[in-house]
Amino acid sequence: MRVAARKIRRAPAPGELAIAQTRDAAMVARLLEGAGMTAAGVDAPGGCFLVAHLGDDPAGVIGLETKIDAALLRSLHVREPMRRRGIGAALLAAVRLAAHTRGARRLYAIVADDSAGRWFAGRGFAPEPAAAILAAMAGAPYADYLRENFTVGELCGLAVDISGDGVIER
């Protein structure tokens, strides 16, 4: 008789924040579409989505696409009733670790409004030309979606150096 090894995880306590990678593209799509965001490419190979749960309830989602030594953050969303609890910052910290683990040295974000740009700037991101980001991330599904659906002038690019974020966790 063969016994398969199973990873045992402690269930989060009610009200406890837990962030984990998910393969449930349908749930990610529901969260994004419910926020009026695109779900295009959520099931594309090479992408990574992390979901924050507060107890049993999904509180937020963030995505990541990597290409060699760069990563593009995509689709950060925290559900309205869950905001102002540090969930967005926790998701950003988790995606930085995920990007660094995948070998990225720079993490990019592309936003369409000043409010989001200020939020990222407050977390160490600096302005970066959107055209340069889209060129660096060519072939990544979200970068291609942005290139096809927006003009570069509509987008605000941001970047942060994550090469010194610490030891790569596997």
What ranges do the domains of the chain cover? 17-161
Cα 143 to Cα 138: distance, rounded to the nearest angstrom: 6
> Given pLDDT bands bounded at 50, 70 and 90, which one contains residue 8?
very low
The structure tokens listed for 138 are 């060519």
Cα 168 to chain centroid, rounded:
18
The strand pair at 57-67 and 70-78 is best described as antiparallel
Cα 39 to chain centroid, rounded:
13
Threshold 0.75, pTM exceeds: yes
What residue type is assigned to position 98 of the chain? A
Q: Which CATH class is domain 17-161?
A: alpha beta
The mean pLDDT of 130-150, rounded to a whole number, is 93
The strand pair at 70-78 and 106-111 is best described as parallel
User: Chain-wide mean pLDDT for the chain?
Assistant: 87
> DSSP secondary-structure letter at 15?
T
The mean pLDDT of 94-115, rounded to a whole number, is 92
